[in-house]
Every structure is written in structure tokens, then in C-alpha cells.
Amino acid sequence: MGFLDLVNRRLDHVKAYNSASYYKDHVYMAKRWVREWKDINSDMISTDEIQTFVLRRSKVSAFTANNELRCLRALFNFGIKRNWITTNPTRNISFLPIEKRIKYVPPKEDVLKVIMAADPETQDYLWVIKETMGRMSEINRLTWSDVNFDERCVTLYTRKKKGGHLTPRKVPLTQKLFGTLSCRYLRRDKSKPWVFWHRYWDMKKKTWVEGPYKDRKKTMRSLCKKACVKYFRYHPLRHLGASILDRANVNIGTIQRILGHENRSTTEIYLHSIGEAEREAMSIFEKAAQDSHTVSHTETKEELGQFTNSLI
């Protein structure tokens, strides 16, 4: 199978089974891959060629290179599973080492400043993200049928699970969230099912379209600048919520369910607060170190006195 054909079939699959943003990222990378191997048979692409390409992408960053390698590996595995190709040239290529850093989590004060700097429509959007700790994509696809005012909960759907299936989880409504959604519900357009939607010009269809947001990434940069705070995106609001729960001694299993994580290890990445266990351990260490220093200092004085007496 030609490489171009394989890429197009993979993109069709990603579009059908994954989120719009995930598909958009794949299209962006696929254009680069096609420039490299458009006229080559997929089975003729060598490991050395992939390795050279990945190293070239590492000049942008190790994270970028690893992401390309991960997606290329998925591309070739996709073809192998359907018996379209026989080999995966990425199989023996290792991921580049990445220097992990603690992600920036904005303080609550900065979050409130940004919300207050927004227009009423965007304020509602930010409150819903903050109070549900939901992903931007989950809030974008939120419909009024997902909001249950009687049970005081909202159902969020994500495609993070294996296979790309939309998986629901229920998040209880806080008082603030209940008030925000209640007000929006009263003034909603009954012909629109979405909690948040907009009217935009579709470049392909050459017409105005009404529908849910696909992304709102540019909004946060202008709002942070307007509020005079350090720039952060929507996702750190999930980190902030998880850290607040962790500091309040909420067990990690509950935090995991609220965030919609399949693995506990993913939830642990979100917990940026220093736990009481770590503080207590360092307090014990400090006391033990001081005691050791005092004993050592006393013994030195005694030994010096004995040495002096022996000389006399």
C-alpha cells in the first residue's frame, strides 16, 4: 500500500473515532509525513529514515519528536492490523528523554481575576470548566440533556478511553455551578441543544453555521493579558481543582473519578500540593539532623578536654 493511501485511511479512522482537536493535530502532522514519503510504498520506508525524521523534529523539542514518533507508530500499526502492510519501521526506535517539570498551576486569585476580566458569556464558560474540573472538549460538547437540575449533577463525556468511545461520568453540581447553569437555562435558545454554542463562518461550506465550539484556545491569552496575570490555559484549571481537593484530604480515588482518569498514575500528575506526610517526614528529618549535630558537637568538646588533661 502506498504511504499516502495509508495516511488518508488512518485520518478517516481518527476523524470517526477521536475528538476534533485530535484529528486536527493528526492532519497537521500528516502533511509533514506526506512531504517526506508521499510516493513511497509503506513497506519500503526504513527505520533509518524514520529515525532521521524524528531527530530532525527533536530540534523543535523532544516532546514534539516523541509525539510524532508515537503517532507514526500508531499509523503503521493501524496498517498492520488490517493486513495492508507487513512491517512497522518505528518498532525499534526509542523515545527521546524528556526533562519533566512541574506544570504551572495558577493561584485561585489569578483565576478569579481572569474570570472577572471576561465578558458574561465567557465568564459562564470559565465557571463551568472550573467548577466541574472538566476538559475543554467535554464542556464544548455539553448539552442541556446532560444537565440534571433535580439530581444536581452534570454528565460529561470524554474520548480519552481506549477505542475512542465516548465515556460518561457524573459530576455533582456545586452551588456556584448550579446557579450559573440555572441562569443560562432560563435565557437559553430552545432551538439549540448545546449549553455553549456560537455562530461562525464555515470556510469550506461558504455559509454561516451555528454549532458548539471546537476550541477556544486564543481566548485565554487575551484574558490573562487583560487581567495582568501569568498566562495559563484552560487545562490548568483541572490541576488547580485536583490540588485543592488533595489539600482538603479528599482520597485520590474520588479525585480520579471526578477528573475522569482511567489510571491512578495520571491523577497523581495533577496533585501539585505537598502532602502532610511529606511535611511531617521533613520535620522529623530536620529534628534528627539537629540532634545528631548537637551530640556530635558535645562529643568533640569532651574529647578535646580529655586530650588537654592528658597533656597536662
- CATH number, domain of 117, equals 1.10.443.10
Chain length of the chain: 312
Cα 40 from Cα 148, distance rounded (Å)? 54
Residue 295 maps to a domain: no
Read off the pLDDT band of 218 (50, 70, 90).
Answer: confident
Residue 136 maps to a domain: yes
- The answer to whether residues 22 and 132 belong to one domain is no
Cα 230 from Cα 103, distance rounded (Å)? 13
pLDDT for position 206 = 86
When pLDDT is averaged across residues 185-206 and rounded to a whole number, the result is 91
Q: Is residue 248 classed exposed, middle or buried when 0-12, 13-18 and 19+ CB atoms within 10 A define those classes?
A: exposed
Closest CA to 51 of 85, 86, 95, 7: 95
pLDDT for position 276 = 57
Query: In this structure, are residues 47 and 93 in contact, taking their beta carbons and an 8 Å threshold?
Result: yes
When pLDDT is averaged across residues 107-130 and rounded to a whole number, the result is 95
Of the candidates 233, 260, 278, which is a domain's last residue?
233
Closest CA to 31 of 56, 53, 4: 4
Of the candidates 81, 98, 126, which is a domain's last residue?
81
Is the model's pLDDT at 207 over the cut of 70?
A: yes
Angle at 162 between CA 156 and CA 166, to 5 degrees: 30
pLDDT for position 273 = 57
- The answer to whether residues 203 and 112 belong to one domain is yes
Residue 183 maps to a domain: yes
- The answer to whether residues 69 and 113 belong to one domain is no
By DSSP bridging, strand 167-172 and strand 153-158 are antiparallel
Closest CA to 117 of 8, 273, 227: 227
- The answer to whether residues 74 and 115 belong to one domain is no
When pLDDT is averaged across residues 146-168 and rounded to a whole number, the result is 84
Domain count, the chain: 2
Measured CA to CA in angstroms, residue 224 lies from 218, 229, 231 at distances of 11, 5, 5
pLDDT for position 161 = 58
Residue 272 maps to a domain: no
Cα 303 from Cα 67, distance rounded (Å)? 63
Closest CA to 47 of 92, 15, 114, 82: 92
- The answer to whether residues 68 and 140 belong to one domain is no
What rounded mean pLDDT belongs to the chain? 87
pLDDT for position 156 = 95
Domain range spanning residue 22? Answer: 3-81
- The answer to whether residues 140 and 189 belong to one domain is yes
Residue 33 maps to a domain: yes
Q: Which of 10-24, 54-68, 224-238 has the lowest mean pLDDT?
A: 10-24
Of the candidates 81, 97, 121, which is a domain's last residue?
81
When pLDDT is averaged across residues 133-157 and rounded to a whole number, the result is 95
